[in-house]
Structure 1
């Protein structure tokens, strides 16, 4: 009886946490006119892909029947989803990935940044052996014309042209302000990897992945603004430092022909203010 009560309590706590996780997602879905029915097919695909990738039996081929058993999805739907291929990156995903790589190099490589990780202004093309924006783009990809990347970044306000004709990065991070599809790409990467950390820690894998946060209530708006300003400064400094180190280690590992792992490091600051008038009415 005691074991049954503990199990029910665990299920209740899990359900409560799951609702908290789902609410922001549902808010995004409703705000973009995606109904419950509309998201069902996406949820089916995710269930099938996770079951296939992470819940196979040792030395046995994963079958449609087993995936159906694990997920509760009809075997015919499982077969259809498994036969469909959606792994090819879309144009926006490739564009976002290229932008993130360019930003990482600009903020870490000594040719393109100073010792503090501040991006140096770059001329469009190489002058007197000084690295240029063209060099930067071609160092990451030979498939994209530097002029096209520059035009796109100018349009999004990521860079600007200085009075002496140099290209100046406006933000210390690749955050496309006007390109909704690219924002979605980065949102998916960030949220997916954070949830993967949570999932790993809930499974009690050892060693646990780092996942820490602080929570405070009853703060004035001035205090929240002060905390946000300081947090942005300190977290950005850490991200720049880690970006430089990761870039150096990546070059080192590639030379030794042993790259096999990947990391994702992020930082966030959430804030919310109560509607005092609404609270008073209640």
Structure 2
């Protein structure tokens, strides 16, 4: 079988995409051999799950042909229990539900996006307390357990009156590497899936847009950063309220259930002088 010609533009894009990931790996001690082994697992798993002919599970030989991974390795990897793409950890999904209710549902907010400080104990605040908020979402976990975890992650703070203040309008851990890594994997995966789908040209494209400027001063960048944090957060909260309202009335079957991710990001770095020269008139 003759190998298809790989567009140089694709290899260039992959090289660019990998740079920040390699930077993270080097900082965290992930070496090339470790990553190569991990990548080998992913190649085999994707070929096994997504490259079937007429629904038939591919053989070891076909996976080896598709991926370039040696057949012995393919057989070994398929016999091992691979780590599936699990949903976000339970503590994160619970946290997202709680923050959503705190910022959108009365009596816990003064208006959408404006979470009220809540007395910690139901014995003090009754239905308008942190304990009551947690009980609205789950009766299996105590408010104190959630509070201790959120204090560790920097999601909330406790004032001198024993009231709990929300420090962010969305569940975004300020501390806790494992929690931030979970969001990193979830968000980057879904963004990449949308971009890959759009690049394939199959079906209706997903919304994926951004704006780029390369001649801004540090002061202007700070101004834009603040605008994105304020206005962008309001946009995401509006989408969250819309999705929450729709989910309350939806009754899809198990086969019809779908999940969504809507994201917004901001990034800045020093403009490469070589690149800026090529773009000057």
If the length of structure 1 is used for normalisation, what is the TM-score?
A: 0.85
- Note closer, same or farther for the CA distance 1:108–1:70 as it changes in structure 2 (3 Å cut): farther
185-194 or 47-56, larger mean C-alpha shift: 47-56
CA contact (8 A) 1:108 1:247 kept: no
CA contact (8 A) 2:44 2:63 kept: yes
User: Are positions 1:251 and 2:248 aligned together?
Assistant: yes
Superposition CA RMSD, Å? 2.6
User: Are positions 1:36 and 2:32 aligned together?
Assistant: yes
Instruction: For residues 146-201 of structure 1, give each alpha carbon's deviation from its aligned partner in whole angstroms, at most 9, with x where no partner exists.
Output: 21110121233221123432211011122222201111110111111100011100
Q: Give the alignment of 1:252-271 within 5 angstroms.
A: 252-254=249-251, 260-271=257-268
Aligned length in residues: 268
Counterpart position of 1:279: none
Q: 3-state SS of the aligned residue for 1:107?
A: helix
Q: 3-state SS of the aligned residue for 2:165?
A: strand
Deviating 4+ runs (over 6 angstroms): none
Shift of 1:118: 1.5
Counterpart position of 1:240: 237
Counterpart position of 1:138: 135
CA contact (8 A) 1:108 1:244 kept: yes
Distance in 2 (CA, whole Å) between partners of 1:230 and 1:272 is: 17
CA contact (8 A) 1:107 1:244 kept: no
CA contact (8 A) 1:52 1:67 kept: yes
If the length of structure 2 is used for normalisation, what is the TM-score?
A: 0.85
User: Which 5+ residue runs of structure 1 have no aligned equivalent?
Assistant: 1-6, 277-282
- Which residue of 12, 15, 32 maps to 1:16? 12
CA contact (8 A) 1:105 1:247 kept: no
Counterpart position of 1:189: 186
Shift of 1:274: 5.0
- Which residue of 78, 81, 100 maps to 1:82? 78
User: Which 5+ residue runs of structure 2 have no aligned equivalent?
Assistant: 274-281
